[in-house]
Amino acid sequence: MRVVPTDLPGVVVIEPVVHRDARGFFFESYHLEKYREVGIAGPFEQDNHSRSVRRTIRGLHLQAGRYAQGKLVCVIQGEIFDVAVDVRRGSPTFGRWVGMTLSADSFRQCYIPSGFAHGFAVLSDIAEVEYKCTAPYDPASEIGIAWNDPALAIAWPIDTPILSARDEHHPPLAALSGRLPVYDGTGL
């Protein structure tokens, strides 16, 4: 597998080796030791699977505190624009974001460490997304940030998204400063 760094320390794109032949394809979507060797230690405690229609934006979400989550994201069907935002107070990259296209055809994955908000926009008619999480879902630890926060200026490829009622009403990042994780100086 090949690991491609992004402009945000700790956020990486994984390009697995895909073996194709007349029958189809095979690849390792996760291998504990190989991922650990490139800094994705886990352990992963929960897997999630979502299905969304074109123009859906899910996010921006994160969990902080005891149940802070790192996420390993991959697309099973379709294509998405995946986004990670550094929301760690005191981080040199606080408020910066990176976005990348992930698709079932490319097999690319994105690892988003804890301390980063995550969201995605669906570019295909349907997208199914699976992601491994380093902690279980805990509603009390969850933080939502406005997908269209002007201070973040995320260049979403969708102008009029389909949002959940919850995602429509998240506050901007500046309103959440007391709830955000603190940068520990490690860059991860």
> Which residues are catalytically annotated?
61, 131
Q: Report DSSP state, residue 94.
A: T
The set of long-range contacts for 4-9, using a CB threshold of 8 Å and a minimum separation of 24, is 6/84, 6/98, 6/100, 7/93, 7/96, 7/98, 8/84, 8/86, 8/93, 8/96, 8/97, 8/98, 8/116, 9/93, 9/187, 9/188
Type and span of the H or E element at 34? helix 32-37
Residue 99, SS3 per DSSP: strand
Q: Is 120 helix (H, G, I), strand (E, B) or coil?
A: strand
Q: Distance between CA 100 and CA 121 in Å, rounded?
A: 10
Residue 175 structure tokens: 């309103």
